[in-house]
Amino acid sequence: MASPSTVTIGCKLPNGLVLSLGETRHELAGTRASADIGGYGLPPIPAEVWAAW
- Residue with the bigger pLDDT between 31 and 1: it is 31
> Mean pLDDT across the stretch 1-11?
78
Give strand ranges (E) for the chain.
Answer: 6-8, 17-21, 24-28, 44-46
Digit-coded pLDDT (tens) for 7-35? 988 888 888 889 898 898 888 887 777 66
pTM higher than the cut 0.75: no
pLDDT of residue 16: 86
pLDDT greater than 70 at residue 3 = no
